[in-house]
Structure 1
């Protein structure tokens, strides 16, 4: 029986798409070429998925450079290890999977190619199509285009805002008086203003990995004090999100280097609620529950601050809220932490109200 798989044709299409993508990116420095590169990249990913579904031995890898400096040796491998194995009766030696890489959901998209120091190998006869991908000049040109694109978008945004409100930037430059302090996760998929329908000037934003409020973190504590005492925000929102990579990493019992002291805060939350969490069999559900518990714990940490306690005693604001954003549906969930009850409980020990 022939071993030629449908992935063979798709592999060829993928190689052609790669050539088209990079030739498009090099042909012009105009925005149109950037769009062509983006469209071609989408087409490449589509071909990759199709080929992978058609052939279990299809691989896609970026090889790291073998020379320093420069990246001239980088190659894009698109291959089906059995493409020309019509004389073989079985696929007994598929290419080995790439080594497991540490990853963070904030930075690593599922479609990101894996890294390997070697091209796909197999003891069976293999035809590997090697296409040079983005030589040094192509990389430089792509980086210039992606950098310039931000300024193009900025100018378009300015034009649109001015069209809708000719005094928009006059008002914006007059000063800020935001209603909200938003403490959220650094994840690039959680843009605070967009998901909450807020405009520039309506929210004071602080973000870090897994939306933590650590009392020895001078960054977040300074943000809280400035927002409460000088900006006089009315609401403080701690917003996490389901599927948080920081929370998932904290659930992994292993050494994560410089992240250890940061993630220890989340691991302490797990320890405090281990009975509840260990009873949840599904790992995803357990992680999502830890996301909620972490948000509630960070709300407590906000309430422990002197600025919040003293302001609330005098002015009856700010109110602290715990929310979670759903990446799968775009909705915000209010955890209804019960601010006043939480404040009263905390002040049994952490009473910093000077009145």
Structure 2
């Protein structure tokens, strides 16, 4: 379970990151490529990655594992690729034996390359630099406009949610298993991680690649960074100018699902009316429900979905 303890000062010191960070998004993309969840959304994208990612990038899979609980030095909070790569190089003397043993225990293959990294072998660090560069050119650079669009749309929506319903509703919307226990924010999913913010505050960062429970990391400012799945994952983001505000926020299909659920519908009816598969319809309703935009109830064997008041409000504000 993730458990984050807030002081009164922390509750007033929750902010959003100003922009996505290239190395963070790259690492999340490499993690997403190895995961097996949300296949309706990410399945085709993962198949493309498997075909297009060069062999030079493969050592990164020994360092970055599917649960996202990875060494922080390889995903610095830097504003550009070059700045981030320099920060990674600069972190080399700070790597500890404990960090190595943890990374080696999680690696799917031999730990010899990781050992060379921790031993500050120049060839190993050059290999890391090359792997990150080639991965960035395939996974992030061609899609940066869509990554920014997903990021900005999520921040815009959650800022509105924060203003209308408060910080607890805003954070609870980041994951279906998220809830509050007093002044502790909890997400009932592994791995176990507990932190006391201690007045240092929290920075929220949506990622269009990440699909798991929110992740916690340090930030150069001294605050903690909470990385969570963006409302619109990358495969659903609009590749060009969006047709409307809701398309930019949710993606065209998910916006159509929300609009359709002004009238109560089953998952099968949604799939039929919108011309999408049942798994895709289920995935869209799950995400909209987690965001508080629709509600789901059972009527015998039927599962019925309909928009909430918040969903209707979003439809009105988005035209």
What TM-score do the two structures reach when normalised by structure 2?
Answer: 0.22
Which structure has the highest helix share of the two?
2
The higher-RCO structure (CA 8 Å, 6+ apart) is 2
